[in-house]
Amino acid sequence: MINVIEMVNEWSAKGVEDCMSNQHDEHESSHKPPIRKEMSRRQFLTYTLGGATAFMVGGVTLPMVRFAVDPILQKKGEGAFVKVAEISKITSEPQEFSFELQQQDGWYSSTASLTAWIRKDESGNIYALSPICKHLGCTIGWNTSKDYPDQYLCPCHGAHYTKDGKQLAVASKPLDEYKVMLKDDWVYLGEVVPNTIVK
Amino acid sequence: MKFSEINKDSWGELCLYLDTCLIPVTGLNGTESPYEVVRALERLRDMMDLVEIPFKGRIVTYPSFQYGKEEIAQYINEVCHNVKRAGFAYVIVISADVNLNAVQLDNADLILTPSAFSEFPEGGKQQFTHEIIQELWQRKG
């Protein structure tokens, strides 16, 4: 009886040894270290605390960033155009028109009083020139000197321009122009852009 | 343009064109309430707009004399003299609340005060200022 038990134990031990030997061979053949799939307590705490902190910081920061950049994200609509003059009053001779434009500079809103020299060409196209001299920013006038008839003249340093705004002396660029929109018999002016009339 | 718009690098080129200095006088004496100070500054600003905007490329606005009225005329006159020594060809003194007597400021080329505008309507002030400054440049130019 004792011998039988010893034989069984011996056989079992040998079986286990063979089994482990096989597993060992398999590991060696794949050349991979054993991987522990379960998460350690330290990793769990790191991920949990890190995630919670990131969530809280993001929850505070993102609305602040969105608030700060809001003016940039606002779309510019047709509100940028201002009703200035009746189309019927526009002649081939430039006329000065004053108007007010609501300006938004970031969060600062202001009303600017502006003027434009508006005329129509031989084809009936309506143009509006900015009165700001391209030399150093003084305000030009139309036909203000006998020496420069039918020209825009700057009172500061004598820059003068043709009816289309083309520079003739002192200034290096033509007068800027306003974007023009015609609607319901009225001339609407928008933002100032570089002169497109002068070629 | 304002003195603060000009830096050291740009002044070398701009000084050839910016030959006129504008010196504002607010005329406060310290007894004003905060809102009265605001109104005084707004009155001065509105008057300065008549000069600064049309002639931005030739006139440099210097810092204001905030406190003092007629009694500081001699000091203002001295500053006008110094400004010319620094290279400006013309000096204009402007105030919305102080009637500075032209006799007291013989170093100033032009004095723009409320009394100068008293007989003009709002639109006429702009035209008058435009003409009188151009006349100054032509007279001494």
A160 and A96 within one domain: yes
Q: Is the pLDDT of residue B1 over 80?
A: yes
Residue A36 lies inside a defined structural domain of this protein: no
Convert B42-81 to b/e letters by CB count within 10 Å (16 or more is b). Answer: ebbeebbebbbebbbbbbbbeebbeebbeebbeebbebbe
pLDDT in tens, B21-37: 999 999 999 999 999 99
With DSSP H G I counted as helix, E B as strand and the rest as coil, what are the percentages for chain B, rounded to 5? Answer: 50, 20, 30
If residue A19 lies in a helix (H) or strand (E), which one and from where to where?
Answer: helix A2-30
Q: Is the pLDDT of residue A14 over 70?
A: no
Which two tokens mark B63? Answer: 């810092």
User: A136 and B58: CB-CB below 8 Å?
Assistant: yes
Q: Is the pLDDT of residue B12 over 70?
A: yes
Q: Is the pLDDT of residue B40 over 90?
A: yes
Give the strand pairing for A82-86 and A95-105.
unpaired
Which two tokens mark A31? Answer: 């050349």
User: What residues of chain B lie within 8 A of the CB of A131, using their CB?
Assistant: none
Percent of chain B with pLDDT strictly greater than 70: 96
**Computed from CA positions of residues B46, B6, A193, A162, in that sequence, does the dihedral angle turn out positive or negative?**
positive
A157 and A123 within one domain: yes
**Residue from A138, A142, A144, A152 whose CB has the most chain B CBs within 10 Å, to mutate:** A138
Residue A198 lies inside a defined structural domain of this protein: no
User: A138 and B17: CB-CB below 8 Å?
Assistant: no
pLDDT in tens, A114-127: 999 999 998 999 99
**Residue from A111, A134, A136 whose CB has the most chain B CBs within 10 Å, to mutate:** A136
A178 and A122 within one domain: yes
A108 and A170 within one domain: yes
A26 or B124, higher pLDDT: B124
pLDDT in tens, B119-134: 777 678 888 899 999 9
Compute the distance between CA of residue B112 and CA of residue B98 in angstroms, rounded to an integer.
Answer: 10
Apex B134 CA angle, A151 and B119, nearest 5: 110
Asked whether the beta carbons of B57 and A138 are under 8 A apart, the reply is yes
pLDDT in tens, A48-79: 999 999 999 999 999 999 888 887 777 655 55
A47 and A14 within one domain: no
Compute the distance between CA of residue A27 and CA of residue A35 in angstroms, rounded to an integer.
Answer: 11
**Residue from B13, B15, B19, B53 whose CB has the most chain A CBs within 10 Å, to mutate:** B53
A109 and A167 within one domain: yes
Burial class (CB in 10 A: 0-12, 13-18, 19+), B10: exposed
Apex B55 CA angle, B52 and B57, nearest 5: 105
Q: Is the pLDDT of residue A15 over 70?
A: no
User: What residues of chain A lie within 8 A of the CB of B17, using their CB?
Assistant: 135-136, 156-157
- At residue A16 the predicted structure's pLDDT band, cuts being 50, 70 and 90, is very low
pLDDT for the residue A64 = 92
Q: Is the pLDDT of residue A1 over 60?
A: no
Closest CA to A163 of A112, A118, A133: A118
Fold classification of B3-140 (topology level)? Rossmann fold (3.40.50)
Backbone φ, ψ for residue A102 (5° rounding): -80, 120
- At residue A19 the predicted structure's pLDDT band, cuts being 50, 70 and 90, is very low
User: B55 and A138: CB-CB below 8 Å?
Assistant: yes
Compute the distance between CA of residue B65 and CA of residue B25 in angstroms, rounded to an integer.
Answer: 5
Q: Is the pLDDT of residue A163 over 60?
A: yes
A86 and A167 within one domain: yes
> Has this prediction a pTM greater than 0.90?
no
A113 and A21 within one domain: no
Residue A35 lies inside a defined structural domain of this protein: no
List beta partners, residue A99: A114
User: B53 and A139: CB-CB below 8 Å?
Assistant: yes
pLDDT for the residue A110 = 80
pLDDT in tens, B57-82: 999 999 999 999 888 999 999 999 99
Which two tokens mark A117? Answer: 């020299």
Asked whether the beta carbons of A198 and A165 are under 8 A apart, the reply is yes
A159 and A64 within one domain: no
pLDDT for the residue A3 = 54
Mean pLDDT of chain A: 83
Percent of chain A with pLDDT strictly greater than 70: 79
pLDDT for the residue B4 = 95
Residue A26 lies inside a defined structural domain of this protein: yes
Min CA distance, B33 vs chain A (Å)? 26
Domain with A184, as residue range(s), is 82-193
Number of domains in chain A: 3
Diameter of chain B by CA atoms? 44
Q: Is the pLDDT of residue B117 over 90?
A: no
A177 and A94 within one domain: yes
Q: Minimal Cα distance from A159: which residue of B?
A: B57
pLDDT for the residue A32 = 65
**Lowest mean per-residue pLDDT among A98-102, A190-194, B35-39:** A98-102
Residue partners of B137: CB distance under 8 A and separation at least 6: B20, B58, B90
Residue partners of B94: CB distance under 8 A and separation at least 6: B22, B23, B24, B25, B44, B47, B48, B51, B111, B112, B113
A60 and A124 within one domain: no
Residue partners of B18: CB distance under 8 A and separation at least 6: A136, B1, B6, B57, B58, B59, B60
